[in-house]
Amino acid sequence: MKTEEQNLLRFYDGWRLANDRLSEMIGSLTREQLALRPAANLWPIWATTAHVAGMRVYWLCTILKEPGAESTPFDNPTGEGWEDELSHPRDSSELTSALASTWQIVQRCLERWTPDMLAEEFRRER
């Protein structure tokens, strides 16, 4: 791990705090609460949360080739996972586990990446 002067942790510590708070709140919700939708045409809370966790793996592991997908529920390299399967609602324990396991990937990136690396361009392979 690079020192905090060299890596991105100091710049993005708010992300960890937001993740911790999100996990705490999602962990306290019942299935009924997780099924609530902010509007009729929008996803339920559980699906939005699952999508957040799944997209961490998609962008960091599938697109940017960072390791760690295998330690999450989203280890399918196609990006197709249970996070967007609206017919199968997820409970708070599945969601908090997904947030925790995918946060570990984010954390490792923040520990390893440097400010200079943010200027590097990459091509998304399709």
* pLDDT tens sequence across 42-95: 999 999 999 999 999 999 999 999 999 999 999 876 767 787 789 999 999 999
% the chain with pLDDT above 70: 94
Range of the domain at 31: 13-119
% of the chain with per-residue pLDDT over 90: 76
Q: Mean of the per-residue pLDDT values for the chain? A: 91
Q: What's residue 34's pLDDT? A: 98
Does residue 126 sit within a domain? no
- Written as six digits, the tokens of 64 are 């940017």
Question: Which tokens is 75 given?
Answer: 């280890």
Which residues does 77 contact at the CB level (< 8 Å), separation at least 6? 61, 62, 69
- Whether residue 83 lies inside any domain: the answer is yes
Number of domains forming the structure of the chain: 1
The alpha carbon torsion through 62, 67, 71, 76 (nearest 10 deg) reads 20
**DSSP classification of residue 118:** G
Model pLDDT, residue 105 = 98
Domain-located, residue 71? yes
